């Protein structure tokens, strides 16, 4: 793995009273080369839980698979769906178990459960921090400014979605390893929805 | 012709009798039937465990013996049968609840815990080289689903109940519960029902000869009653006729 393979990505999460929005851009870059414009960094785990991530694609995909498997196993065992916090804690245990050879990914865990909406930020070692909004990856420095300026906890989910997309767009403008398009996951008490926002190619 | 049990089918736990029975497991059930009785009652406001603690000798120190084990903050279990076997299961159950808290940062669901205990019990009915656990447990607690009450047996079966009893005289106690059970009870009344049920079958001489634990849906905490609280309670309960 060359040094050019870095956490080149932008992922944001916005929590409001109604639910949570997770968004990430789609660029997979190997240094100065854009390997793919269709990299998926937002993963729906179950119908009320999703993650968005910045890092090595393989690690993100593996973490998403581990979480999906465990969420399903939990549901079968407990006869109820896991809470957002429970799954975030599980992910934290998985990530910290690799303390000395970590998954190279930062993760945003978002979802809605009996207690309401949750957004949890995790670093590659598995730290758990609950927050109202967050930005991860190389574009985070740009995206967080947009979120800081406009976030209100009483926003509607639609407003939150617009804000998240706007933050990712700002990061794409200024972060060379972010781009390609935007994946958005919207979670509220009715379930999880996913959509892709295509970007106009500016020449 | 020999009766089936004498034809050697009770010699190993890995062999079915022609009637499809595993005799060693059935015998383990006999150990439970001879155990000190224990009662579990669930109502809308919570769940209660009550267990007899027999005075095994004049100089025995009742405070040294436990019949109701707290497994986690919100769940407890009471065994009947071979109490040494029960200890192993209780230790295992505590382990399961702790690792559940470690992994998920939440209290374990009572049914899942019961299932974990019963999976262990089941293992000992299918593989040779060891005997089954000669113990039944009543597992009671509060979780996201509300008040929960389960009874396990040596085969590894677990069943949810509104009220149940295991051990010696469990038939008499169950009969009492069937007659007097009401779901719409406050926790105090529920405790009284459990103790009365136990007292219908065994002689409760003083507060040292019974153990009581309860948890309310509101508080979600399993609490063992102190000897003083039990004494106050027993004053209200008629002695066995």
Pairing of strands B75-81, B69-72: antiparallel
CB-based contact (8 Å) between B99 and chain A? no
CB-based contact (8 Å) between B115 and chain A? yes
* A144: pLDDT strictly greater than 70: yes
Give the SS3 label for residue B115.
helix
CA–CA distances in Å: residue B213 to residues A29, A61, A149, B71, B225: 61, 47, 54, 12, 6
Pairing of strands B163-166, A116-122: unpaired
Chain A residues whose CB is inside 8 A of the B98 CB are: none
Mean pLDDT value across chain B = 93
Whole-angstrom distance, CA of residue B81 vs CA of residue B133: 9
CB-based contact (8 Å) between B160 and chain A? no
Pinpoint the alpha helices (H) of chain A.
57-78, 84-96, 140-150, 157-174
Chain B residues whose CB is inside 8 A of the A67 CB are: none
Q: What is the pLDDT of residues B92-104, one digit of tens each?
A: 999 999 999 999 9
Q: Looking at B12-21, B31-40, B105-114, which range is the least confident one?
A: B12-21
Nearest CA of chain A to the CA of B141: how many Å? Answer: 15
* B4: pLDDT strictly greater than 90: no
- Report the alpha-carbon angle B165-B170-B174, nearest 5: 65
Q: What's the pLDDT at B35? A: 95
In chain B, residues 20-49 whose CB comes closer than 8 Å to chain A: none
A interface toward B at CB cutoff 8 Å? 74, 77-80, 82-83, 85-87, 89-90, 93, 114
Q: What's the pLDDT at B57? A: 87
Chain B residues whose CB is inside 8 A of the A77 CB are: 112, 115
Give the SS3 label for residue A162.
helix
Of B105, B115, B144, which has the smallest distance from its Cβ to A80's Cβ? B144
Q: Which helix (H) or strand (E) holds B77?
A: strand B75-81
Q: What's the pLDDT at A1? A: 45
Average the pLDDT over A30-57 and give the result: 94
User: In 3D, which of A54, A40, A84 has the Cα closest to residue A194?
Assistant: A40
Whole-angstrom distance, CA of residue B169 vs CA of residue B190: 20
Of B102, B106, B111, which has the smallest distance from its Cβ to A83's Cβ? B106
Whole-angstrom distance, CA of residue B18 vs CA of residue B7: 10
Whole-angstrom distance, CA of residue B165 vs CA of residue B104: 32
Chain B residues whose CB is inside 8 A of the A82 CB are: 104
User: In 3D, which of A154, A184, A189, A190 has the Cα closest to residue A168?
Assistant: A184
The chain A residue lying nearest B104, using CA atoms, is A86
Domain boundaries along the sequence of chain B = 36-57+66-234
Q: What is the pLDDT of residues A79-130, one digit of tens each?
A: 999 999 999 999 999 999 999 999 999 999 999 999 999 999 999 999 999 9
Q: What's the pLDDT at A137? A: 95
Of A74, A85, A114, which has the smallest distance from its Cβ to B105's Cβ? A85
Q: What percent of chain B has pLDDT over 90?
A: 79
Task: Mutate one of B98, B99, B102, B105 to test the A interface: name it (highest A CB count within 10 A).
Answer: B105
Whole-angstrom distance, CA of residue A20 vs CA of residue A52: 12
Q: Is residue A10 among the annotated active site residues?
A: yes
Nearest CA of chain B to the CA of A144: how many Å? Answer: 29
Average the pLDDT over A48-74 and give the result: 96
Measured distance between the N- and C-terminal CA atoms of chain A, rounded to whole angstroms: 32
* B122: pLDDT strictly greater than 90: yes
Whole-angstrom distance, CA of residue B206 vs CA of residue A137: 67
* A31: pLDDT strictly greater than 90: no
CATH homologous superfamily of B36-57+66-234 equals: Aminohydrolase, N-terminal nucleophile (Ntn) domain (3.60.20.10)
**ipTM rounded to 2 decimals:** 0.85
Average the pLDDT over B70-80 and give the result: 98
Q: What is the pLDDT of residues B164-220, one digit of tens each?
A: 999 999 999 999 999 999 999 999 999 999 999 999 999 988 888 999 999 999 999
Q: What's the pLDDT at B143? A: 96
The neighbouring-strand residues paired with A107 are A53, A122
* B117: pLDDT strictly greater than 90: yes
Nearest CA of chain A to the CA of B110: how many Å? Answer: 9
Task: Mutate one of B97, B103, B144, B146 to test the A interface: name it (highest A CB count within 10 A).
Answer: B103
Of A77, A79, A86, which has the smallest distance from its Cβ to B106's Cβ? A86
Q: What's the pLDDT at B150? A: 98
CB contact burial B119-154 (16+ within 10 A = b; e otherwise): ebbbebbeeeeebbbbbbbbbbbbbeeebbbbbbbb
CATH homologous superfamily of A10-182 equals: Aminohydrolase, N-terminal nucleophile (Ntn) domain (3.60.20.10)
């Amino acid at each position: 793995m060359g040094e050019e393979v870095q956490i080149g990505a932008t992922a944001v999460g916005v929590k409001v009273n109604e639910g949570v929005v997770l968004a990430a851009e789609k660029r997979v870059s190997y240094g100065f080369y854009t390997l793919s414009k269709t990299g998926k960094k937002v993963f729906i785990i179950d119908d009320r839980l999703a993650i968005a991530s910045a890092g090595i694609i393989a690690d993100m995909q593996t973490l998403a698979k581990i979480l999906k498997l465990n969420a399903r196993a939990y549901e079968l065992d407990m006869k109820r769906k896991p809470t957002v916090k429970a799954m975030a804690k599980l992910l934290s245990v998985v990530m910290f178990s690799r303390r000395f050879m970590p998954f190279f990914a930062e993760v945003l865990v978002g979802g809605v459960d009996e207690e309401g909406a949750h957004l949890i930020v995790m670093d590659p070692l598995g730290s758990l921090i609950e927050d109202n909004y967050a930005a991860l990856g190389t574009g985070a420095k740009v995206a967080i400014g947009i979120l800081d300026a406009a976030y209100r906890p009483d926003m509607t989910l639609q407003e939150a979605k617009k804000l998240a997309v706007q933050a990712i767009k700002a990061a794409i403008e200024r972060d060379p390893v972010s781009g390609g398009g935007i994946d958005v996951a919207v979670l509220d008490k009715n379930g999880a929805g996913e959509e892709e926002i295509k970007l106009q190619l500016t020449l | 012709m020999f009766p089936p049990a004498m034809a050697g089918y009770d010699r190993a736990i890995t062999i079915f009798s022609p009637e499809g029975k595993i005799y060693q497991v059935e015998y383990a059930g006999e150990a439970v039937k001879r155990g000190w009785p224990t009662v579990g009652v669930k109502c809308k406001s919570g769940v209660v465990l009550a267990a007899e603690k027999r005075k095994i000798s004049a100089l025995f120190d009742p405070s040294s013996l436990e019949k109701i084990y707290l497994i986690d903050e919100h769940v407890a279990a009471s065994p009947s049968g071979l109490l040494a076997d029960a200890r192993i299961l209780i230790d295992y159950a505590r382990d399961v609840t702790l690792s559940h808290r470690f992994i998920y940062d939440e209290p374990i669901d009572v049914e899942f815990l019961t299932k974990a205990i019963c999976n262990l019990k089941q293992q000992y009915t299918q593989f040779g080289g060891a005997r089954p656990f000669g113990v039944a447990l009543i597992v009671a607690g509060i979780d996201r689903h509300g008040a929960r009450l389960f009874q396990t047996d040596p085969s590894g079966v677990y069943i949810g109940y509104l009220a149940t009893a295991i051990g010696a005289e469990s038939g008499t106690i169950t009969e009492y519960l069937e007659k007097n059970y009401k779901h719409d009870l406050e926790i105090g009344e529920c405790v009284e029902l459990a103790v009365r049920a136990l007292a219908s079958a065994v002689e409760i001489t003083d507060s040292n000869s019974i153990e009581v634990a309860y948890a309310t849906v509101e508080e979600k905490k399993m609490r063992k009653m102190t000897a003083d609280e039990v004494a106050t309670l027993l004053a209200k309960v008629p002695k066995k006729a």
